[in-house]
Amino acid sequence: MKRIIFFIYICLFTFNWGKAWSLIEVDITRGNLNPLPLAVSPLSVDQNSKEKFKDLLKLEDIGAEISKVVENNLRQSGLFNPLDPKAFLQKPDIAHVKPRFEDWALIKAQALITGEVKIVDEKLRVEFRLWDVLAGKEIMALAFTTVSENWRRVGHIITDKVYQRLTGEKGYFDTRIIYVAEEGLKTSRIKKLAIMDQDGFNTKYLTLGNELVLTPRFNPTNQMVTYLSYFKNLPRVYLLDIETGIQEVVGDFPGMTFAPRFSPDGKKIIMSFAKDGNSDIYTMDLESREVEKITNHPSIDTSPSYSPDGKYICFNSDRSGYQQIYVMRSDGSKVKRISFGNGLYGTPVWSPRGDLIAFTKLHKGKFYIGVMRTDGTGERLLTENYYQEAPSWSPNGRVLIFYRETKSDSAGKGFSAKLWSIDLTGYNERMVKTQTDASDPSWSSLLTD
């Protein structure tokens, strides 16, 4: 009996303890119409560091700039409502040491982020704290050092930590998007590989636009990318190391290879190979260069994507007569159709959480981005438009990025291609800003864990 009472006591204690620590918590499983109001106090910078940063980075106030990155990230997530810094009553340096919670409560902030940046040994050192305003206590404190050029990433890392502390799930802010930048007439479009930070900054072009390039995808374990290039008018799957710029063709196939993607461990590429009017799915081991044929069917089999445990593959096939989604074991056995709704289904992508498959659906002249369980049940359409396709998951499996095209006349007037993102909940649909028109986005893993 005593033991039972003791056990109950422990339960109660842990329960209460948990609750005390989660006064503010954000539910990300539902559409959030009441984003959490919070204050991102500009990070404080001492005069000496401020001057040095000004020389190094040409920024007036690096503290305020990093805070803006955090603020923007949190706002874009749709879960938080960062308050206008003009309303802040307390100075950044004092707030970071000892916030006057009444002042922050007055402007309705439920959480507060404060911090300090300085130069230490020619490097940028940041220290930040997350405060629960209502409970009046610090709930997280962290410091790290990096090269000054990485100052935007500092903002992304802070956002990831705050997001994780308040939602209980990993963030997706210190990530990059690789995509195809588009320019020119629709009939002779110029396409280049481009990479940018998740928030649209630091865009870099990786190819010159001399040949058509399509469908870049990140290796989930490193900075390699696989994509389709029409180099020398031979459409083949290529591998590109973003750090070194070295490219190589994948495998020695006597025909078009396309629709590449990495396996979750990053060691294989899975893709389609088309020959004599038939497309089948193949894998190539990047180390041994061994090629394996996975499907063997006279229909079109394409757009393969592995489950995160590597045991299954979902893919697109028209073996039933029209484009549908199928799942099979990674050796190609036990093929099973999972899409049975009205319309055509394409571009299946397995969620990094493993439980869902995102897809593009075409029905009655409209295109949808949707998700279904891996057995095909629970289909949910998130967004409808004239044309949109190719969803890619954020590394935490909470957001999808895809591209959308507009209608045009015969001269191409009115045409545009843009990246969009939407939460798994179907809320928080946003255009992702890019310097040019854009398509085929692929989301990287978190750069720092």
**Binding of residue 233 to another protein (CB under 8 A):** yes
**Amino acid identity of 251?**
G
Task: Choose which of 249, 362, 446, 447 interacts with another protein (CB under 8 A).
Answer: 362
**Binding of residue 423 to another protein (CB under 8 A):** no
CA distances from 194 to 15, 201, 221, 269 (A): 48, 12, 19, 21
- Residue 47 or 410: which CB sits closer to another protein? 410
**Binding of residue 442 to another protein (CB under 8 A):** no
Write down the least CB distance from residue 403 to another protein, Å: 10
Q: What is the DSSP letter of 149?
A: G
The two tokens of residue 305 are 């994507």
User: Rounded distance, CA 361 to CA 69, Å?
Assistant: 35
- Residue 101 or 258: which CB sits closer to another protein? 258
**Binding of residue 397 to another protein (CB under 8 A):** no
CA distances from 224 to 47, 86, 217, 244, 286 (A): 41, 43, 9, 10, 12
204 three-class SS: strand
Write down the least CB distance from residue 274 to another protein, Å: 4
**Binding of residue 40 to another protein (CB under 8 A):** no
User: Rounded distance, CA 430 to CA 391, Å?
Assistant: 14
Scanning residues 94 to 133, which ones bind another protein (CB under 8 A)?
none
Query: Would you state the torsion angle of the CA atoms of residues 182, 221, 201, 370, taken in this order, to the nearest 10 degrees?
Result: 60
Write down the least CB distance from residue 185 to another protein, Å: 7
Task: Choose which of 56, 214, 381, 446 interacts with another protein (CB under 8 A).
Answer: 214
**Binding of residue 256 to another protein (CB under 8 A):** yes
Write down the least CB distance from residue 410 to another protein, Å: 4
Q: Are 87 and 132 in contact (CB under 8 A)?
A: no
Write down the least CB distance from residue 95 to another protein, Å: 50
**Binding of residue 215 to another protein (CB under 8 A):** yes
What is the number of other CB atoms lying within 10 angstroms of the CB of residue 364? 6
User: Rounded distance, CA 45 to CA 86, Å?
Assistant: 18
User: Rounded distance, CA 30 to CA 102, Å?
Assistant: 31
**Binding of residue 323 to another protein (CB under 8 A):** yes
Task: Return residues touching another protein (CB under 8 A).
Answer: 185-189, 212, 214-215, 228, 233, 235, 255-256, 258-259, 272, 274, 276-279, 300, 302-303, 316, 318, 322-323, 346-347, 360, 362, 365, 386-387, 389-390, 405, 407-412, 414-415, 440
